[in-house]
């Protein structure tokens, strides 16, 4: 390093600055101006650095998207410790015409970013994924958004984001503050140490806001963006948290992601993470994408969306296959009281139960299962009598079931993880009409229906009473 006293200097207004210092200040002010200039994203030209969104710019651009696209709505969901708004854009077909209850039933992908305020590219990934979904919805029409919902929260930690700081104002690592195995491993009890878990589980207002938001959703999948490495982080560590019960679904999901993007997966480095809670407590298929190795930078040396293009494939694949994340029964044929169903999900469909449930089935709890129950996914068709509560249909398996006369729906669980709300993993497959032994053969091309039917309350009670614990070991 050159001694400042020996460097050439320039004088202005009676004050002397070294040339090196002047150049440094020029660069610093240029970078600050780039980070704060309005609509910086629109000003970038090829080959020039592109500034990241400031907090205010992100809020303005999210609002602008909601104004531009009919399928989107902007709303605040809470405030940070310093009273900055935490906001989302909500996307669904005919969203302005739907009640909150109708929206709450739609299978939902929730995407967030910037739990760690200095991981700006995680917020950018959420934003650019949102723009792609809205553009595709416009180009492809109503079917693109049929029977699903997207909620995007780019900045979970506004105070850390505006300060370019990992923790929130209280020095808490928000991604160690969730109440699933809180403090078990990989955390600190000292503020501003990079992994401080907080005084107690969910002690922070930002954590509470995010949890409440997820509780209000029919949460099928959750992607929570971070930076620092470039890979995918599982919700649980087998050594620390235990086996992932829905590993067959995860394995297919991760394999498809790796084939599409090249990203591989690893175990988490600490307990109390958001996606661990989403999976363990909300029965949502959850991953943490590390979208880039960069942290704490005001601008990108290349166009931001292009830089994120590969990892955005993780978000797009998950959205496109939302209904496949778990068991997903499709009605193939109805002939009297016999129905043929196909599981075209990426995981088994568990605990098949006819609705309304005949009392005899609940009492006996047994039946001839008939078809393969090994989860291999072979496309074999088999016939079985009324399914037992622990009956499951493997991915790719087609089964013909003899159901009681008068059955209106077939209830099942799409995942096996037991969260804190049994309804989160329950789906129902509705038939065109109550089953009748004299009914002619019917074929329903409408696919599976995931909106809960009238037998849901009884179905949940049956599952709670009869469903045995099941796990699948990760290789």
Quick one: tokens of 311?
């990892």
Q: How confident is the model at residue 439 (pLDDT cuts 50, 70, 90)?
A: low
Q: How confident is the model at residue 359 (pLDDT cuts 50, 70, 90)?
A: low
The pairing of beta strand 265-266 with beta strand 230-233? parallel
Q: Which residue has the higher pLDDT, 28 or 133?
A: 133
pLDDT of residue 440: 56
Of the listed ranges 119-123, 224-228, 440-444, the least confidently predicted one is 440-444
pTM equals 0.81
pLDDT of residue 422: 84
Backbone angles phi, psi at 441, to 5 degrees: -55, 135
Question: Stretch 453-471: mean pLDDT, rounded?
Answer: 43
Q: Is the pLDDT of residue 407 over 70?
A: yes
Q: How confident is the model at residue 49 (pLDDT cuts 50, 70, 90)?
A: confident
pLDDT of residue 360: 47
Q: Is the pLDDT of residue 194 over 90?
A: yes
Quick one: tokens of 181?
């195995």
Asked if 356 contacts 407 with a C-beta cutoff of 8 angstroms, the reply is yes
pLDDT of residue 292: 96
Asked if 176 contacts 190 with a C-beta cutoff of 8 angstroms, the reply is no
Q: Is the pLDDT of residue 18 over 60?
A: no
Report the alpha-carbon distance of residue 112 to residue 182 in Å, rounded. 20
Q: Render pLDDT for 408-424 as a digit per residue (tens, 0 to 9).
A: 999 999 999 988 888 88
Q: Please state, as a whole number, how many other Cβ atoms lie within 10 Å of the Cβ of residue 354.
A: 25
pLDDT of residue 371: 40
pLDDT of residue 323: 97
Report the alpha-carbon distance of residue 225 to residue 119 in Å, rounded. 9
Domains, the chain, with CATH or none: 48-324 (3.40.630.10), 329-466 (no CATH)
Q: Hey, is 101 helix, strand or coil?
A: helix
Q: Which residue has the higher pLDDT, 240 or 118?
A: 118
Q: Where are the alpha helices (DSSP H) in 45-199?
A: 55-68, 100-105, 120-140, 158-163
Q: Is the pLDDT of residue 69 over 90?
A: yes
Closest CA to 410 of 367, 449, 369, 436: 449
Residue with tokens 């690592």: 173
Closest CA to 436 of 336, 349, 364: 336
């Amino acid at each position: 390093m050159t001694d400042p006293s020996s460097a050439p200097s320039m004088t202005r207004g009676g004050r002397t600055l070294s040339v090196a210092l002047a150049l440094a200040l020029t660069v610093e002010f240029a970078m600050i101006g780039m980070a704060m200039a309005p609509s910086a994203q629109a000003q970038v030209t090829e080959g020039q650095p592109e500034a990241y969104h400031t907090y205010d710019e992100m809020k303005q651009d999210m609002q602008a998207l909601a104004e531009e696209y009919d399928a989107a709505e902007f709303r605040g969901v809470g405030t940070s410790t310093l009273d900055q708004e935490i906001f989302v854009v909500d996307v669904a077909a005919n969203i302005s015409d739907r009640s909150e209850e109708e929206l709450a039933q739609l299978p939902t992908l929730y995407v967030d970013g910037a739990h760690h305020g200095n991981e700006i590219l995680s917020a950018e990934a959420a934003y650019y994924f949102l723009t792609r979904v809205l553009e595709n919805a416009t180009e492809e029409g109503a079917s693109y958004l049929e029977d699903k919902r997207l909620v995007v929260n780019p900045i979970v930690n506004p105070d850390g984001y505006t300060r370019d700081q990992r923790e929130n104002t209280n020095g808490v690592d928000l991604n160690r503050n969730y109440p699933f195995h809180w403090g078990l491993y990989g955390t600190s009890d000292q503020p501003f140490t990079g992994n401080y878990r907080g005084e107690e589980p969910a002690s922070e207002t930002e954590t509470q806001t995010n949890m409440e938001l997820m509780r209000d959703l029919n949460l099928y999948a959750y992607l929570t963006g971070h930076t620092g490495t470039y890979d995918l982080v599982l919700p649980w560590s087998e050594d620390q948290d235990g086996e992932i019960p829905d590993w067959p679904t995860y394995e297919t999901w991760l394999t498809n992601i790796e084939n599409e993007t090249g990203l591989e997966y690893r175990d988490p480095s600490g307990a109390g993470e958001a996606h661990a809670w989403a999976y363990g407590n909300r029965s949502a298929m959850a991953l943490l994408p590390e979208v880039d190795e960069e942290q704490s930078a005001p601008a990108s040396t290349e166009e931001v969306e292009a830089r994120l293009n590969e990892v955005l494939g993780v978000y797009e694949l998950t959205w496109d296959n939302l209904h496949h994340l778990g068991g997903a029964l499709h009605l193939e044929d109805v002939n009297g009281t016999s129905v043929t169903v196909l599981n075209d999900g990426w995981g088994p469909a568990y605990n098949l139960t006819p609705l309304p449930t005949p009392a005899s089935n609940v009492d006996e709890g047994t039946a001839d299962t008939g078809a393969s129950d090994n989860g291999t996914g072979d496309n074999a068709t088999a016939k079985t009598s009324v399914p037992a509560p622990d009956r499951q249909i493997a991915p790719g398996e087609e089964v013909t079931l003899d159901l009681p006369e008068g059955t209106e729906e077939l209830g099942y669980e799409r995942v096996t993880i037991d969260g804190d709300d049994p309804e989160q993993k329950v789906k129902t497959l509705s038939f065109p009409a109550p089953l009748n032994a004299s009914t002619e053969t019917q074929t329903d091309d409408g696919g599976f229906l995931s909106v809960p039917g009238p037998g849901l309350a009884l179905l949940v009670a049956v599952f709670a009473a009869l469903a045995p614990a099941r796990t699948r070991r990760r290789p």
